[in-house]
Amino acid sequence: MVAMIRYRLALLGHSQRYLPPVLLYLAVLATQYTEPLSPLPPEYAISAGTMTVLACWLTITTVAVESPAQRLITLSHARRPARVPAGIVVAVLLCCLALTAVSLCWSLVVHSGGAATDVTIGALVHLAAALAGIAIGLPCSALLIDRLGWTVIAAVAGLLVLIMVPWVPVLNPVLRALSGITAPGPGIAVLSLAGALVLFGLSWVAVLVLEQRRR
Amino acid sequence: MPLIGAEHWVASFPVSSVVRLAGVTKRYGRQPPVLRSIDLAAAPGQILGIVGANGSGKSTLLRLLAGLSRPSDGRVIGSPTVGYLPDRFPAAQRLSGRAYLRHMARIGGLTDLSGVERLVERLDLVGGPDTPMRRLSKGNAQKIGLAQAVLGDPQLLVLDEPWSGLDVAAHGVLDELITQTRARGAAVVFADHRRDLVARVADRVVEAADGTLREVELPGRTPGVDEAGRVATGPIRIELAGGDVAGLASVAGVIRVERDGGVTVLAVAPAHSDAVLAIALDRGCSVRGVRQW
Q: Show me where the domains of chain A are located.
A: 2-214
Q: Which residues of B are less than 8 Å from A6 in CB distance?
A: 103, 106
DSSP state at residue A79: -
Interface test with B, best of A11, A73, A209 (most B CBs within 10 A): A73
Domain count for chain B: 2
Q: Give a yes or no: residue B166 inside a domain.
A: yes
* Top-confidence residue, A29 or B249: A29
Give the per-residue pLDDT at A129.
95
Q: Are B118 and B45 part of one and the same domain?
A: yes
Q: What is the pLDDT of residue B219?
A: 59
Residue B227: inside a domain: no
Q: What is the DSSP code (8-state) at residue A66? A: S
B263 and B211 within one domain: no
* Interface membership of A72 toward B (CB under 8 Å): yes
> In sequence order, what are the residues at sequence separation of 6 or more whose Cβ sits closer than 8 angstroms to the Cβ of residue A9?
A91, A94, A95
For the residues A142-170, what does the mean pLDDT come to? 91
- Predicted confidence at residue B250, as pLDDT, reads 62
CB distance B97 to B120 below 8 Å: yes
> Are residues B29 and B85 both part of a single domain?
yes
Query: What integer best gives the mean pLDDT of chain A?
Result: 91
Instruction: Record the pTM.
Output: 0.76
Spatial separation of the C-alpha atoms in residues B198 and A61, rounded to whole Å = 39
Same domain, B45 and B157: yes
Q: B150 and B258 in one domain?
A: no
| Residue B83 touches partner A, C-beta closer than 8 Å | yes
ipTM: 0.84
Instruction: Produce one character per residue of B138-148: b if its CB has 16 or more CB atoms within 10 Å, e if not.
Output: eebbbbbbbbb
- At residue B258, the pLDDT reads 82
Q: Residue A34 carries which DSSP code? A: T
pLDDT means per 10 residues, chain B with 293 residues, are: 35 58 87 87 87 87 92 89 88 84 91 81 75 80 87 90 78 81 86 84 86 75 46 70 78 73 80 77 86 73
Which of A76, A84, A209 to probe by mutation at the B interface, max B CB count within 10 Å?
A76
The whole domain housing B255 covers 236-292
The answer to whether residues B206 and B249 belong to one domain is no
**CATH number of the domain encompassing residue B118:** 3.40.50.300
- Beta-bridge partner residues of A113: none
Residues B248 and B212 in one domain: no
Torsional sign, CA A205, B86, B43, B213 = positive
Q: Are strands B187-191 and B156-160 parallel, antiparallel or unpaired?
A: parallel
The confidence score (pLDDT) of residue B16 equals 65
Report if residue B112 sits inside a domain: yes
Residue B186 falls within a domain, yes or no? yes
- Is B64 part of any domain? yes
Long-range contact list for A164-168, CB < 8 A, 24+ apart? none
Q: Given B67, B94, B107, which is nearest A77 (Cβ)?
A: B107
Mean pLDDT, range A147-175, rounded to an integer: 91
Check residue B271 and give its pLDDT: 63
Indicate if B77 and B170 belong to the same structural domain: yes
Residue A156, pLDDT score: 95
The domain boundary, picked from B218, B246, B266, lies at B218
Quote the radius of gyration of chain A (alpha carbons, Å).
17
Say whether both B211 and B158 belong to one domain.
Answer: yes
Q: In Å, how far is B94's CA from the nearest CA of chain A?
A: 6
B86 and B134 co-located in one domain: yes
Length of chain A: 215
CB proximity B163 to A under 8 Å: no
Sheet with B286-292: strands ordered across: B254-260, B263-268, B236-241, B286-292
User: What are residue A3's phi and psi, to 5 degrees?
Assistant: -60, -40
Q: What is the pLDDT of residue A35?
A: 86
User: Based on the domain organization, do B50 and B13 belong to the same domain?
Assistant: yes
Instruction: Verify whether the Cβ–Cβ distance A72 to B70 is below 8 Å.
Output: no
Q: What is the pLDDT of residues A66-120, one digit of tens each?
A: 988 899 999 999 988 899 999 999 999 999 999 999 999 999 998 888 788 889 9
- CB within 8 Å of chain B, chain A residues 119-178: none
pLDDT for the residue numbered A78:
92
Residue B147 and residue B274 in one domain: no
Q: Which of B83, B85, B94 faces A15 most closely, judged by CB atoms?
A: B94
Give burial (CB, 10 Å; 0-12/13-18/19+) of B27.
middle
Residue B89 domain flag: yes
